[in-house]
Amino acid sequence: MNLESKIYIAGHTGLVGSAIVRAIKAQGYRNLIFRSSQELDLRDKEQVVRFFHENNIDFVFLAAAKVGGIVANNDYPADFIRDNLQIQTNVIDTAYQYGVKKLLFLGSTCIYPKFAPQPLREDYLLTGELEETNEAYAIAKIAGIKMCQAYNRQYGTKYISVMPTNLYGPGDNFDLETSHVLPALLRKIHEAKQNHLDTVEIWGSGSPRREFLHSNDLADACLYLMNHYEGDDIVNIGTGEDISIYELANHLKSIIGFEGEFVFNTSRPDGTPRKWVDVSKLKAMGWASQISLVDGLKATYEWYTKQEKILSN
């Protein structure tokens, strides 16, 4: 990409998309295109075709997706598979039709088998059964990866697919019914402190281990790969380190200043026992994460409390 390239960030208001926008602007790119979901419904092929027809787009970051935590994925599988298949199919195919130079597709590490060896290597894709609770979302993402590879092979496109680990940061979803584990825990512990509660309930046993990557690090990696990588092989993006949910909760407890105790609701699902990605391929390309978990959690909590104050005024 050069500074005058016309760059479309699909999903620019979400956790990932907003981080990519910040990173692109910080590096001096000036010709950025965004559309809200109200302005452009990516599930509607006619709208997507009209949008690409009206804009001479050079590069696409496909960060738009329907996302959610265990409960949302488990309760609304039809919504997750339908909406994500429609979004990515429409954007990938129309990008080809209108001669986009390069596209980066954001996948997810939930594409890997539930009981795959750890850390998760890129070549573990399609080697075992998926985690049941988010199977519909994972299958949609796998279809997106295979679509990018198929278009590269048949049409000579330059579409790359990246698999970020669990993400967090400013702009995250903190809704307790639909959010992922980190923002849900942050909000629960924050509200427990505010309301002088003695306990906070944590879903599951607390033993599953997860890797957490700050959205700003992900955005930096996406820009790096857009400018330095071409190939069919998927690329993991992560820190190379993981932590138990119990340990995460204690980090948040310390940062927030909560003095109560945790109660584990083991009637709720744990999900995948461990999810920790092998980032050796990305490191060999010259990129590594820079934001430590504790620093990232502190910054995210500061952002959350500022937003809370804004909304209350």
pLDDT in tens, 44-58: 999 999 999 999 999
Phi, psi angle pair for 233, to nearest 5° = -65, 135
Q: 22 a known binding residue? A: no
**Token couple for 229:** 């990588």
**Residue 180 among known ligand-binding residues:** yes
User: Which pTM does this prediction carry?
Assistant: 0.93
* Average pLDDT over all residues of the chain: 94
Phi, psi of 62, rounded to the nearest 5 degrees: -95, 85
Q: Label residue 180 by pLDDT band (50, 70, 90).
A: confident
pLDDT, greater one: 269 or 247 = 247
Point out the catalytic residue in the list 137, 151, 229, 304: 137
pLDDT average, residue stretch 301-309: 91
Q: Which stretch of 66-70, 182-186, 297-301, 304-308 has the lowest confidence by average pLDDT?
A: 66-70
pLDDT at 309: 77
Q: What integer is the mean pLDDT of 129-142? A: 93
Instruction: Give me the percent of the chain exceeding a pLDDT of 90.
Output: 86
* Range with lowest mean pLDDT among 55-59, 102-106, 117-121, 305-309: 305-309
141 is in an annotated binding site: yes
42 is annotated as contributing to ligand binding: no
> Annotation-wise, does 199 bind a ligand?
no
Mean pLDDT of the region 192-198: 96
Mean pLDDT of 180-204: 94
- Strand segments (E) across the chain: 7-10, 32-33, 59-62, 102-106, 159-164, 166-168, 199-203, 209-210, 212-214, 235-237, 243-244, 261-265, 274-275
Residue 70 confidence class, pLDDT cut points 50, 70, 90: confident
Fold of the domain built from segment(s) 7-172+212-239+276-291: Rossmann fold (3.40.50)
Residue 29 bears catalytic tag: no
- 78 phi/psi in degrees, rounded to 5: -65, -40
Distance from the Cα of residue 199 to its chain's centroid: 30
